[in-house]
Amino acid sequence: MEKNKTGYSKDTNTPVKFLKGVGEARARMLAKLGIRRVIDLMEHFPRNYISRNIDPALHEVQPGDHLAFSANISWVDARPTKSGKKMVNVGLNDGHNTLVCTWFHFPSWYEQILKPGQSIWVNGVISEYNRQLQMLHPEIELISDDEDTDFWKSRSCLPVYPLTANLSQKQMRNLVYTAFEGYAQYIEENLPQKLIEKHGFRDRNTALQLMHFGLDVNVINQTKQRFAYEEFFFIQLLWARHKYYHKTQVQGIKFTNKKLHTTALKHKLPFTLTDAQARVITEIFADMCSETQMTRLVQGDVGSGKTVVTLFAMLLAVENGYQAALMAPTEILAEQHFATISRLLGGMDIKVCLLKGGSYKGKAQDLEDIASGHYQLIIGTHALIQDKAQYHSLGFVAVDEQHRFGVQQRASLAQKDKHPDILYLSATPIPRSLSMTVYGDLEVSIIDELPPTRKAVVTLVRSNRKIDLVWEDVRKQLRQKRQAYVVCPLVEESDKVDLLDAERLHEHLSTHVFKEFRCELIHGRMPTAQKDEIMRRFKQGETDLLVSTTVIEVGVDVPNATVMVIEHAERFGLAQMHQLRGRVGRGADQAYCYLIEHQPISKIAAQRLHTMVSSTDGFVIAEKDLELRGPGEFFGTEQAGLPAFRFANLIADQHILKKARQDAFEIIAKDPDLNAEEHRVLKDILKRELHDREQLIMY
């Protein structure tokens, strides 16, 4: 193969720093976008397209619409505000209607570039102020003919790329053009020819170029389906091989339902199991009593009883002579599980251990007692998977809030000892389409019933203009010796967005609104020990009101907390709000969740708030959240093991997912080692690009 001046073979895996116009400094910028090789740049697809044909059609838009269009600036008005800051208003006119773009926070260079007559592209949400169409803080780009290459000057359609600091659209366009100019001939196919013909795909070289240089958006959207298929197909190929491996090579533990400890627990429970809990226990026991290793996911809303279901499974392992472990994402959750399980097992001859991270008195002895088999149930944090933690006979592992752990951490437990049965727990209901990609062929159990004693949380949407009325309702609860949470989207004040932050709100609430009560602040930037101590004080009733970021989204069980106030609720996803709402209503008293909206809000945000008010069903909310936000934001933060879909959409592309899954499983069923000549391309990609990921799930 031809070599470039660096000595590298001239192929698309060449480090991007060797591309003309990049170099070391710009390569570091591109790396922030996940672009490290030339092929990564080729696969860095536009997120939008600018048509040079100016046609905003402003008379057709309504407040709440999301709009991206180009137009000429009619006028510019920059002036100071009452707070001493500066605002910029820009008028865009299509000959019939005017749209005013307004910025309260903006870079200083905006004033230099925003001039009457300048052609710009804007992207944002339409609102209305004094009967005038408005767009607050829209994203903008100047449109000019001053491009570095003649190629882009002549284009009627320009791509708009995701960027990072110090990279402009013009620079990114020119880098993409240079990449294809020098390396297009080295683009390799990654799908078998039979699949390409079966689905009518364009070859990969043509498809990649269409995504960047195509002029017809319909053709571009059609072409994108090929890349959605690729993403789904290779994930499903891994899961198909995982399933084959498990069936043919992994020998699980075959338990026997001896009805000793499990029956004793059932008789001493202070409540009756719900039908859903009993059904899920039966499903788990059936798996554990088979010869294959169990890998099952249990989904259930906060308070549905996942812990007691898990305890039955742990006791089945114990009465068969094995140890059982439960791993939680935080120390405070681990301590909560330890306290709950110890209380439920009171009077039974079962030895339970709490294992935490770091150094503390008695830890060395605990590790020794775990290794000797003295402790039968081990509850802890990631300390359970550290090298120091050795087990006598680990037969069962439960992973609580499993999406908070990376694939590597989850796999570490599954590989312990003799392939213990694995139970994943999630209070974030996961739609089937997402679970097929994140968890492959896991069996799924659903606890879709809450205990009859639980009262539904009353959920109310309130405008920030009437926040004083909300604070009065909160005060009434605090005077009754109840507790409350107030959640903000930001930790501290930001120049980039005009949102309430936890630090300022805590100062305001503690010194003005609720100065007669004990208020504390907690956020994710605090050291873990400090956060845990604050949460312990709140749990013990030493704090009345806790101002927080979403760090308390999945957290402590505080039955006395009856109020959740979510500021800027329009900025949160449905699953996130549902989890936050689940922090209250855990006791016998009626609980309330106030969703505070700050105008303007988009139609999608309005739908989210309406869904929260109309439903408390976590699965209904999860499906709607996936539909509105997409998989990338489903869990609130990106987790290791959650596929980062660049091209696919799990709602719009479910038909593609089904095709890709069927194709992948059919191929592995016939040729599990991909030795056939027609599958050589797949074997090469698995070995070259997916080997490490496959090793994580091939336990």
Q: What is the pLDDT of residues 286-303, one digit of tens each?
A: 999 998 888 888 888 777
- pLDDT number for residue 475: 96
Most confident of 133-147, 165-179, 389-403, 408-422: 165-179
Q: Identify the domain boundary among 90, 121, 142.
A: 142
Closest CA to 351 of 397, 318, 308, 398: 318
The encoded tokens of residue 252 equal 């699980």
Q: What is the pLDDT of residues 397-417, one digit of tens each?
A: 998 875 555 555 556 666 666
Average pLDDT of every residue of the chain: 84
Mean pLDDT score, 122-132: 85
- Count other C-beta atoms under 10 Å from residue 493's C-beta: 12
Mean pLDDT score, 651-673: 90
Beta carbons of 547 and 506 less than 8 angstroms apart: yes
Return the SS3 of 563. Answer: strand
Tracing tokens 């830890």 back to the chain, one arrives at 363
CA triple 176-39-34, angle to 5 deg = 85
Partners of 484 in beta bridges: 545, 563
How far apart CA 331 and CA 379 sit, in angstroms, is 10
- pLDDT number for residue 138: 87
Q: Identify the domain boundary among 142, 161, 186.
A: 142
Q: In this structure, is residue 22 part of a structural domain? A: no
Q: Residue 71 belongs to what domain range?
A: 53-142
- The answer to whether the Cα torsion of 552, 554, 558, 560 is positive or negative is positive
Beta carbons of 419 and 698 less than 8 angstroms apart: no
Tracing tokens 């791509």 back to the chain, one arrives at 159
Beta carbons of 133 and 61 less than 8 angstroms apart: yes
Judged on CB neighbours under 10 Å (0-12, 13-18, 19+), 108 is exposed
Domain containing residue 557: CATH number: 3.40.50.300
Q: In this structure, is residue 528 part of a structural domain? A: yes
C-alpha to C-alpha distances, 415 to 31, 153, 325, 410, 418, nearest whole angstrom: 33, 57, 13, 9, 7
Mean pLDDT score, 77-90: 82
Domain containing residue 60: CATH number: 2.40.50.140
Residue 654 has pLDDT above 60, yes or no: yes
Q: Which residues contact 215 (CB under 8 A, 6 or more apart)?
A: 155, 156, 157
Most confident of 44-48, 140-144, 484-488: 484-488
Judged on CB neighbours under 10 Å (0-12, 13-18, 19+), 59 is exposed
Residue 641 has pLDDT above 50, yes or no: no
The encoded tokens of residue 506 equal 């805590």
How far apart CA 683 and CA 65 sit, in angstroms, is 46
Q: What is the pLDDT of residues 16-75, one digit of tens each?
A: 999 998 989 999 999 999 999 999 999 999 988 877 665 556 777 888 887 777 788 999
How far apart CA 318 and CA 330 sit, in angstroms, is 25
Mean pLDDT score, 219-236: 92
Return the SS3 of 81. Answer: coil
- pLDDT number for residue 575: 78
What's the first-to-final CA gap in the chain, in angstroms? 38
How far apart CA 498 and CA 110 sit, in angstroms, is 18
The encoded tokens of residue 114 equal 């925003």
Mean pLDDT score, 139-165: 75
Q: What is the DSSP string of 465-485?
A: GGHHHHHHHHHHHHHTT-EEE
- pLDDT number for residue 80: 82
- Count other C-beta atoms under 10 Å from residue 13's C-beta: 16
Question: Left (φ > 0), alpha (ψ -120 to 50) or beta: where does 501 sit?
Answer: beta
Mean pLDDT score, 472-483: 96
Q: In this structure, is residue 383 part of a structural domain? A: no
Dihedrals φ, ψ of 83, to 5°? -80, -5
- pLDDT number for residue 52: 61
Q: Identify the domain boundary among 599, 615, 631.
A: 615
- Count other C-beta atoms under 10 Å from residue 531's C-beta: 21
Dihedral over alpha carbons 683, 685, 691, 692 (to 10 degrees): -170
Most confident of 153-157, 253-257, 410-414, 653-657: 253-257
Q: In this structure, is residue 79 part of a structural domain? A: yes
Q: In this structure, is residue 349 part of a structural domain? A: no
Mean pLDDT score, 208-218: 90
Mean pLDDT score, 320-334: 89
Return the SS3 of 294. Answer: coil
Mean pLDDT score, 480-488: 94
Return the SS3 of 530. Answer: helix
- Count other C-beta atoms under 10 Å from residue 441's C-beta: 15
Using DSSP bridges, classify how beta strands 295-300 and 421-426 pair: parallel, antiparallel or unpaired.
parallel
- pLDDT top residue among 522 and 109: 522
Q: What is the pLDDT of residues 577-619, one digit of tens each?
A: 888 898 898 888 999 999 999 888 888 888 899 999 998 887 7
Mean pLDDT score, 168-173: 87
Tracing tokens 């605990």 back to the chain, one arrives at 366
- pLDDT top residue among 107 and 237: 237
Element at 691 (helix H, strand E): helix 691-697
CA triple 128-133-139, angle to 5 deg = 100
How far apart CA 339 and CA 331 sit, in angstroms, is 12
Mean pLDDT score, 248-275: 89
CA triple 469-470-474, angle to 5 deg = 120
The tally of domains found in the chain comes to 2
Tracing tokens 């308070």 back to the chain, one arrives at 303
The encoded tokens of residue 121 equal 């592209």
How far apart CA 372 and CA 434 sit, in angstroms, is 40
pLDDT band at 353, cuts 50/70/90? very high
Using DSSP bridges, classify how beta strands 119-129 and 139-142 pair: parallel, antiparallel or unpaired.
antiparallel
Residue 251 has pLDDT above 70, yes or no: yes
- pLDDT number for residue 96: 79
- pLDDT number for residue 634: 36
Beta carbons of 459 and 595 less than 8 angstroms apart: yes
Element at 342 (helix H, strand E): helix 331-344
The encoded tokens of residue 383 equal 């300390």
Partners of 173 in beta bridges: none
Judged on CB neighbours under 10 Å (0-12, 13-18, 19+), 382 is buried
Q: In this structure, is residue 149 part of a structural domain? A: no
Q: Interhelix angle for 618-629 vs 603-614, to 10°?
A: 170
pLDDT band at 134, cuts 50/70/90? very high
Residue 460 has pLDDT above 80, yes or no: yes
- pLDDT number for residue 432: 61
Q: In this structure, is residue 609 part of a structural domain? A: yes
Return the SS3 of 596. Answer: strand
**The one-letter amino acid at 620:** V
Residue 497 has pLDDT above 50, yes or no: no
Closest CA to 550 of 517, 513, 574, 523: 523
Q: In this structure, is residue 119 part of a structural domain? A: yes
Q: What is the DSSP string of 207-270?
A: HHHHHHH-S-HHHHHHHHHHHHHHHHHHHHHHHHHHHHHHHHH----------SHHHHHHHH-S
How far apart CA 187 and CA 203 sit, in angstroms, is 10
Element at 128 (helix H, strand E): strand 119-129
